[in-house]
Chain A
């Protein structure tokens, strides 16, 4: 097959994006578990592991530069590389949001719980699910799936609204909860932003597949 080395190089870069994606997924679920189960060690681990995520992103960026220099990609090959360069930034930022949640878990420490955490873990699960499927759509060049996943951001937004309203009610009823409630709102915000980043990834999938560079949907927040 002509251009076998180009094809292989491109496959390797995409595999690396999947590796980065799974590191980020793990950061989201572990940070939420640390918060929910008050596992400070796990929270610290998430914070430490964020460095690995950052490094992986830089390595992939290096790989993309090398690919551009050695293969001079055009057309779909070029769009894939441009998409990867954007997707890894979004993934790294989602990782930062997970690290933020882990920091909050550490801050909360052994304060008495405000309420059992239900909606926040649901937000994390939904975000993770969207993330995993957006990367599948990227690998499968499935623009339809990408548009559909983007639309699901509304569910995360609705959960965010719900959590915020509930926590504000707590604060209004008892000002002593303001500190704890505010921290949980930050967590919700981290997750809401993460899901927005997933919609960015979906936009890149559409770009790779159709060549169209456009915002699928603007977040309400």
Chain B
């Protein structure tokens, strides 16, 4: 099996505070990997370090390696913008641009230099279809994205991430602001998307991690405590700390 993303002895510091401690993680290609743990455990820091989203935070220092398809994303010659194109991100709160649905999707490709209207329309349709939103919005692409429901907005954000043809999609609690039905739609969508993309999701919702992911990593105080196939983690965790967390006996 080839590893799409690998971290090697990854340390991340926010000033004096060490947020990640020697994390070694292998994210499998075309699978969903869930990262869970109590607040402040480092799971979001890890997610954000996979596509250098931490670069813009003052005082951040990264040591160790993050390999994307074998290449260190923190190597001096690597362009962070290119990394973020290959590794897209979906956030906790749906954050559509205050523009039309179409413009939201076209924004990324335009920034990357695409001008041909037909090509942009094709990308918009393809991305919206892939995000399972096309049928709901195909007749109102010019409508403001802000008029969509929360669940639709989040799928629009997924479509926007897909429009620049990434290899990996990072999701930071993508459903925590959504109702159960919209959550289910996103979860179903993830199962379809993983056939073409590699997905890493941070979630506070353990049932969600159990439902959607193939692999689960449990973090505590900056360390990766346990990483295994999801069914193993939830039926027979090897570390007592994992057991205590997932059974709700601490955290």
Task: Write the residues of chain A forming the contact surface with B, with a CB cutoff of 8 angstroms.
Answer: 2-3, 6, 72-79, 211
Instruction: Say yes or no for B249: interface residue by CB 8 A criterion.
Output: yes
| Chain A residues within 8 Å of B235, by CB | 74-75, 78-79, 211
Q: B236–A79 contact, CB under 8 A?
A: yes
Q: A2–B250 contact, CB under 8 A?
A: yes
| Chain B residues within 8 Å of A79, by CB | 235-236
| Chain B residues within 8 Å of A76, by CB | 243, 247
Q: A67 to B82, alpha carbons, bound, how many Å?
A: 49
* B82-126 to A contact mask, C-beta < 8 Å, 1/0: 000000000000000000000000000000000000000000000
| Chain A residues within 8 Å of B234, by CB | 74-75, 78
Q: A196 to B101, alpha carbons, bound, how many Å?
A: 66
Q: A75 to B236, alpha carbons, bound, how many Å?
A: 5
Q: Known pairs A74-B235, A211-B235; list 4 more (Cβ under 8 Å).
A: A6-B247, A74-B247, A75-B235, A211-B236
| Chain B residues within 8 Å of A74, by CB | 206, 210, 234-235, 246-247
Q: A39 to B119, alpha carbons, bound, how many Å?
A: 91
| Chain B residues within 8 Å of A75, by CB | 234-237, 242-243, 246-247
Count residues on chain B whose CB falls below 8 Å from chain A CBs.
Answer: 14
| Chain A residues within 8 Å of B242, by CB | 75
Most buried by B among A75, A77, A78: A75
B78 to chain A, nearest CB (A): 40
| Chain A residues within 8 Å of B56, by CB | none
A52 to chain B, nearest CB (A): 33
Q: B246–A72 contact, CB under 8 A?
A: no
Instruction: Say yes or no for B2: interface residue by CB 8 A criterion.
Output: no
| A-B residue pairs in contact (CB < 8 Å), sample of 28 | A2-B248, A2-B249, A2-B250, A3-B247, A3-B248, A6-B247, A6-B248, A72-B207, A73-B247, A74-B206, A74-B210, A74-B235, A74-B246, A75-B234, A75-B235, A75-B237, A75-B243, A75-B246, A75-B247, A76-B243, A76-B247, A77-B247, A78-B234, A78-B235, A79-B235, A79-B236, A211-B235, A211-B236
A73 and chain B: residue at smallest CB distance: B247
B32 to chain A, nearest CB (A): 18
Most buried by A among B234, B248, B250: B248
Most buried by A among B234, B236, B237, B242: B236
| Chain A residues within 8 Å of B248, by CB | 2-3, 6
211-250 of chain B: CB within 8 A of chain A: 234-237, 242-243, 246-250
| Chain A residues within 8 Å of B246, by CB | 74-75
Q: A158 to B35, alpha carbons, bound, how many Å?
A: 54
B242 and chain A: residue at smallest CB distance: A75
118-148 of chain B: CB within 8 A of chain A: none
Q: A6 to B250, alpha carbons, bound, how many Å?
A: 13
| Chain B residues within 8 Å of A72, by CB | 207
| Chain B residues within 8 Å of A211, by CB | 235-236
Q: A73 to B234, alpha carbons, bound, how many Å?
A: 9
| Chain A residues within 8 Å of B250, by CB | 2
Q: B249–A3 contact, CB under 8 A?
A: yes
A212 to chain B, nearest CB (A): 8
Q: A77 to B250, alpha carbons, bound, how many Å?
A: 15
A3 and chain B: residue at smallest CB distance: B248
